[in-house]
């Protein structure tokens, strides 16, 4: 099972399982490119979040592969990290 985490300006969220990781990344990049806009998503706890995204807000997203054995044993899952491009640095490719 994959768990997607997102950190926006220092605040950590775990995304709901119905959230599309790639779509959310594109929405965040589009908001930053436009200067600023709100991006909405739902957390795993069912909380609706709207975050104001601008070129100066640091956003990091990553997926954690939660293996059944690792969860049962309390060990660390395998982590694959994806970083949203830094708009302020001029990196726009997703």
Q: What is the pLDDT along the chain (94 residues), one digit of tens a residue?
A: 788 999 999 999 999 988 888 999 999 999 999 999 999 999 999 999 999 999 999 999 998 887 655 545 554 444 444 455 555 555 555 4
d(CA 41, CA 48): 6
pLDDT computed for residue 66 by the predictor: 72
pLDDT computed for residue 76 by the predictor: 46
Q: Which two tokens stand for residue 90?
A: 């001029």
Sign of the CA dihedral 5, 8, 12, 17? negative
Q: Cβ neighbours of residue 85 under 8 Å, at least 6 residues apart?
A: 29, 91, 92, 93, 94
Q: How many CA atoms lie within 13 A of 56 on its CB side?
A: 0
Q: Cβ neighbours of residue 78 under 8 Å, at least 6 residues apart?
A: 64, 65, 67, 70
């Amino acid at each position: 099972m994959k768990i997607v985490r997102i950190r926006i300006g220092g605040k950590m969220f775990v995304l709901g399982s119905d959230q599309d990781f790639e779509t959310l990344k594109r929405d965040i990049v589009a908001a930053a490119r436009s200067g600023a806009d709100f991006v909405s998503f739902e957390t795993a706890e069912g909380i609706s979040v709207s975050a104001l995204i601008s070129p100066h807000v640091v956003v990091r997203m990553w997926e954690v592969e939660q293996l059944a054995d690792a969860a049962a044993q309390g060990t660390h899952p395998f982590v694959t990290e994806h970083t949203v491009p830094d708009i302020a640095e001029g990196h726009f490719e997703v």
